[in-house]
Structure 1
């Protein structure tokens, strides 16, 4: 499952860099239709046999599959600005609905949030720093798993790639002026810029019952 975890990091890098805003929606001409139901969600047939790390990974991968499909549709229809519109309007409700499907909690936090509601807490900041050190040492990250009496918390790093830099890179370089204007409008307190490739953008957190 370690190879699957590395795939997850790449997938999260593809999508997660754009998912932040939960309110102050903007409209787009072509709405992206998204649904998350147990019938349409990839099934986990051997959940009781998975380790906690692999279980959280499976939940995250299935959520990512739905998110990525709809994000790509928005990009194909409206480019980078379409991606911003999707993330601003649809990504949070879809993630929340997937969390309901799995009877857990799926979220993303950062030390440099685009929206302040995504600010990592003290413990999460430590995990982010841990992943940063691992990546800086050119090592392969493993998920962080915390076991409490009734809950399991799992954490996975989000790494930037070239696509992420369209919204999280250097202003007026990798971020086009039109995209920067839209970001400024939607996120006046945005801290999530200035990244280069293969940097830790934040972490995904998946929590579920034992």
Structure 2
């Protein structure tokens, strides 16, 4: 009877360890967030490039104003996350950083690597996990986010002033940190 008891106990311990390990699988939030934001960047860039090719930067501004927010929201819902684009110098006031996000933005911006890359940041709270993915300025971005009258043409500047009267999203150079994707996962 002692041998059976040991076998049963060993089996029970094995099963408990197996079951507990299944419940403790760690979710790689950063990898998931990078996948979501990669899709967002690729899709927004493709749509913006198509719009610029069809009617120039002037035509792309209203397109971007009408579509960037809804696309970002839809992609977030599709992936069961809250997906936002945020900046310390937003064009759209809905994209302004909170005080906590400003600290994170400054931290990420201050840690650019020698290769010009910015780190990601993961913040874990009681009910959610937020991953911040940097949005560096690309050459294409300068047409609307560069220096006025240098990178941004006068007709483009006029449309920007009309569409975004409180616009702060100018004066960037290639490689500068323009914003962050905020990807929030519910726990």
TM-score above 0.5: yes
Q: Secondary structure at the match of 1:191?
A: coil
2:93 aligns with one of 105, 116, 129: 116
Q: Who wins on radius of gyration, i.e. which is larger?
A: 2
Q: Secondary structure at the match of 1:134?
A: coil
Aligned length: 163
Question: If each structure's helix is expressed as a fraction of its own residues, which one has the higher value?
Answer: 2
C-alpha RMSD of matched pairs (Å): 2.0
| Structure-2 separation of matches of 1:115 and 1:67 | 16
What is the aligned partner in structure 1 of residue 153 from structure 2? 176
| Structure-2 separation of matches of 1:60 and 1:90 | 16
The runs of 5 or more residues in structure 1 that have no matched partner are 1-47
What is the aligned partner in structure 2 of residue 163 from structure 1? 140
What is the aligned partner in structure 1 of residue 54 from structure 2? 77
2:68 aligns with one of 75, 91, 101: 91
Change (3 A) 1:64 1:160: closer
**TM-score, normalising length: structure 2:** 0.79
Residues 1:152 and 2:93 aligned together: no
Q: Contact 2:133/2:182 (CA < 8 Å) preserved in 1? A: yes
| Structure-1 separation of matches of 2:148 and 2:175 | 18
What is the aligned partner in structure 1 of residue 38 from structure 2? 61
Instruction: State the shift of 1:68 in Å.
Output: 2.7
Instruction: State the shift of 1:164 in Å.
Output: 1.2
| Structure-2 separation of matches of 1:139 and 1:182 | 31
Q: Contact 2:109/2:118 (CA < 8 Å) preserved in 1? A: no
